[in-house]
Amino acid sequence: MHAPTAPLKPSTGHCIFCDLIGGAAEVSICFEDATAIAFLDIQPVNPGHVLVVPREHYERIEEVPKSLSTHLLDVALTLVPALQTASGAPDINVVIKSGAAAGQDVMHYHIHLIPRRDGDGFDIPLPFPASEMPNRQQLDGMAARIGSLLRDPLARTGGGHGKRN
């Protein structure tokens, strides 16, 4: 598997995942290479819940270089069949939470691979029951806004959250 190199990025504070990657705590590793590590979640939704994590510290999805992001997804895809066999679960949720409002509690970017079985009690309800269905004008307006931001080079290179790698 190709392992792209990632530029170093300084941490913004203490990070338990950086501790795990650095060997400062116990971790049950199921995959590792030069840029990625995958280990079992210590608070699993279901047995076999794995986290795929870059070795370098990035907090949010938009901070991760595109080549590294692609590599992390390749690692996740490599793990899925083995995870299904090992856990005996036929299905998988792939979950990325980016930012506190999205429910990210460890501020080191990671991908959850959650083995799933019928009736396991876990749910990510989509469509979200409390959401109202927008009208076509609202959908078209948001699509146009996103599209125009993608075409505007100043919007892509602006501060922080619009930055592209």
If asked whether residues 21 and 9 sit together in one domain, one would say yes
Domain count, the chain: 2
Tokens read off for 154: 């100043």
Distance from C-alpha of 47 to C-alpha of 28, rounded to nearest angstrom: 13
If asked whether residues 133 and 118 sit together in one domain, one would say no
pLDDT mean across residues, the chain: 89
If asked whether residues 134 and 120 sit together in one domain, one would say no
If asked whether residues 118 and 139 sit together in one domain, one would say no
The pLDDT score that the predictor gives to residue 7 is 40
If asked whether residues 158 and 101 sit together in one domain, one would say no
SS3 161: helix
If asked whether residues 47 and 93 sit together in one domain, one would say yes
Task: Please report, for the domain that includes residue 74, its CATH number.
Answer: 3.30.428.10
Residues recorded for the chain: 165
CA atoms within 13 A on the CB side of 22: 9
**pLDDT of 165 higher than 90:** no
If asked whether residues 38 and 111 sit together in one domain, one would say yes
Q: Which residues of 80-109 are buried (b: 16+ CB within 10 A; e: fewer)?
A: eeebbeebebeebeeebbbeeeeebeebbb
The pLDDT score that the predictor gives to residue 157 is 54
If asked whether residues 119 and 129 sit together in one domain, one would say no
If asked whether residues 72 and 100 sit together in one domain, one would say yes
Give me the active site residues, please. 110
If asked whether residues 61 and 110 sit together in one domain, one would say yes
If asked whether residues 129 and 48 sit together in one domain, one would say no
Cα angle at 35 between 68 and 59, to 5 degrees?
60
If asked whether residues 115 and 137 sit together in one domain, one would say no
**Taking residues 134-147, what's their average pLDDT?**
95
**Taking residues 34-57, what's their average pLDDT?**
97
* More reliable by pLDDT, 110 or 14: 110
Structural domain that includes position 144: 125-165
Is residue 93 a contact partner of residue 63, using CB atoms and an 8 Å limit?
no
Distance from C-alpha of 112 to C-alpha of 45, rounded to nearest angstrom: 10
